[in-house]
Amino acid sequence: METAIEGKAFAPSSGEAPLLSIEDLQVSFYTYAGEVHAVRGVSYSVKKGSSLAVVGESGCGKTVTVQSVMRLIPTPPGRIKGGRIIFKGKDILALSEKEMQSVRGKEIGMIFQDPMTGLNPTMNVGSQIVEAIVKHQRVDKATAWEKAVKMLEMVEIPNPKVRALQYPHQYSGGMRQRAMIAMALACEPDLLIADEPTTSLDVTIQSQILDLLLELQERLGMTIIIITHNLGVVARLANEIVVMYAGKVVEQGTSSQIFYRPLHPYTHALLRSVPRLDRKTRTALASIPGTPPDLFVPPKGCAFAPRCPRAMKVCLEADAFPMELEKEHQVSCWLYHESNPRAAMELEKGGVAIER
């Protein structure tokens, strides 16, 4: 029987060139304790108009990866050691700092995790948005201010004319995140990166902000990369998913592939750790046993192997590489390698571990 198993790394998934593609990105932090290998060869890409979610336990390198795209990694201690980041055909890592300034805010907008500290406390919110507009567009202050008010209106801040003149401390957490979104979108960027935009907000506000992002994405046809812990968020917002573990991508595919046909044992574990409303009995939330590896000395095998219920001998000795097992669905796991005689069977049943 012919299987779809081939070791094709970074296989382009479709014909048209993606808006952004990250290729074999490596980022390290040089600390007193040694080199932290935060990102160890990450590759993923996002097509124009698509929304990509990046998931994975905290500390797995999601933030570092997207901050590399914006070249916001503090150097030192951080250093981008290798790889390429191709955005609209140009390599971001090769741009000068000056050229980078016209990418930031104008072509790529970014929303950060903590809206409470992300705004300048001594500058009114309107001015902070105006600053971005004036920087990238040839408009006078008055026009920019009007635009800023319009942006606040767009993110559904009530009474935007008055609110624009207020300071961040007069805004609630949810409103601040709305203001951050307004600021990130003020110059109509091609790509919006949202790094855990709702994590620090309370639940009802979280869903409001998500609704807003969803609506804006539809209305503006925006391309979004959203980082989140919350798989509920992913299900609602993303049409592609990247699963990261210990500085690497372990699986990526379309939203339905990942949710309905997850292949990597880590993805299984991640999905099992989500509370399910459809289960009648309150089964205990399966948290993944064990801890992620030490990134000072990354293991030579698969980083998940020590916690993996399906780990084999080879997993401890060598790391798997990305294999495209079905269209647009890549996974890095030895279970599916052709050297495993049961690979085809594993693929058929989706690598599910025998329930303990």
Partner 1 sequence: MGRYILKRFVFMLVSMWVIVTACFILMNAVPGSPFTTAKMTPLVRKQLEQKYGLDKPLWQQYVTLLKNLLRGDLGISIRERGRSVNGIIASRFPVSLVLGTEALAFAVTTGLALGVIASLYRGKTLDYIAIIIAILGVSVPNFVVASVLQYVLGAKLKLLPIARWESPAHHILPAFALGLTTLATMARMMRSSMLEVINQDYVRTAKAKGLTPTQITWRHCIRNAILPVVTILGPLIAGITTGTLVVERMFGIPGLGRYFVDSIYNRDYPLIMGTTVFYSAILLLMTFLVDVAYGFIDPRIRLAKGRAD
Ligand X SMILES: Nc1ncnc2c1ncn2[C@@H]1O[C@H](COP(=O)(O)OP(=O)(O)O)[C@@H](O)[C@H]1O
Residues binding partner 1 (CB under 8 A): 70, 72, 101-106, 109-110, 112, 114, 117-124, 131-132, 135-136, 167, 169-170, 180, 183-184
Pairing of β 51-55 and β 240-245: parallel
Say which entry of partner 1, Mg ion, ligand X, none residue 299 contacts (CB below 5 to 8 A, set by partner kind).
none
Among 60, 69, 49, 52, which Cα is nearest to 227's?
Answer: 52
Could you tell me the two tokens for 248?
Answer: 């690497």
- Tell me the Ramachandran region of residue 36: left when phi exceeds 0, alpha when psi lies from -120 to 50, beta otherwise: beta
Return the one option of ligand X, Mg ion, partner 1, none that residue 61 interacts with (CB less than 5 to 8 A, by type): ligand X
Q: How far apart are CA 298 and CA 124, in angstroms?
A: 45
Q: Which is nearer to ligand X, 59 or 118 (CB)?
A: 59
Query: What is the SS3 string spanning 200-263?
Result: CCCHHHHHHHHHHHHHHHHHHCCEEEEECCCHHHHHHHCCEEEEEECCEEEEEEEHHHHHHCCC
Q: For residues 309-323, b (16+ Cβ closer than 10 Å) or e, as one string? A: ebbeebbeeebbebb
Q: In what order do the strands lie in the sheet with 240-245?
A: 108-111, 191-195, 223-227, 51-55, 240-245, 248-254, 329-331, 323-326
61 near ligand X, judged by CB under 6 A: yes
Tell me which of partner 1, ligand X, Mg ion, none is bound by residue 59, counting a contact when its beta carbon lies within the kind-specific cut-off of 5 to 8 angstroms: ligand X
CB 157 within 8 A of CB 117: no
- Pick from partner 1, Mg ion, ligand X, none: which does 102 bind, CB < 5 to 8 A by kind? partner 1
Report if residue 63 touches Mg ion, rule: CB under 5 A. Answer: yes
- State which residue, 52 or 347, has the beta carbon closest to ligand X: 52
Q: Which does 170 bind (CB under 5 to 8 A by kind): Mg ion, ligand X, partner 1, none?
A: partner 1
x/- site string to Mg ion, residues 18 to 57, per CB under 5 A?
Answer: ----------------------------------------
- Based on CB atoms, which residue is closest to partner 1, 148 or 270? 148
Structure tokens at 72: 């916001």
Element (H, E) at 160: helix 160-164
Cβ proximity to partner 1: between 112 and 304 the closer is 112
Smallest gap, in angstroms, from Cβ of residue 69 to partner 1? 11
CA distance 167 to 304: 45
User: CB under 6 A: which stretch of 58-66, 137-145, 248-256, 334-342 binds ligand X?
Assistant: 58-66
The reply to whether 266 sits near ligand X by the rule CB under 6 A is no
Does 13 engage in binding with Mg ion (CB under 5 A)? no
Q: Which of the choices Mg ion, ligand X, partner 1, none does residue 295 contact, using the CB cut-off of 5 to 8 A by kind?
A: ligand X
CB closer to Mg ion, 63 vs 330 = 63
Q: Closest approach of Cβ 56 to ligand X, in Å?
A: 6
Residue 77 engages ligand X in binding (rule: CB under 6 A): yes
331: how many CB neighbours lie within 10 A of its CB?
A: 28
Q: In angstroms, what is the minimal distance from the CB of 67 to partner 1?
A: 9
Residue 324, Cβ density class (10 Å: 0-12 exposed, 13-18 middle, ≥19 buried): buried
CB of 195 to ligand X, least distance (A): 7
- Among the residue ranges 61-69, 216-224, 243-251, 275-283, the one whose residues contact Mg ion (CB under 5 A): 61-69
344, exposed or middle or buried, with CB in 10 Å at 0-12, 13-18, 19+? middle
Span between the terminal Cα atoms of the chain, in Å: 31
Provide the binding-site residues for ligand X, judged by CB under 6 A.
29, 31, 36, 38, 56, 58-64, 74, 77-78, 295
Provide the binding-site residues for Mg ion, judged by CB under 5 A.
63
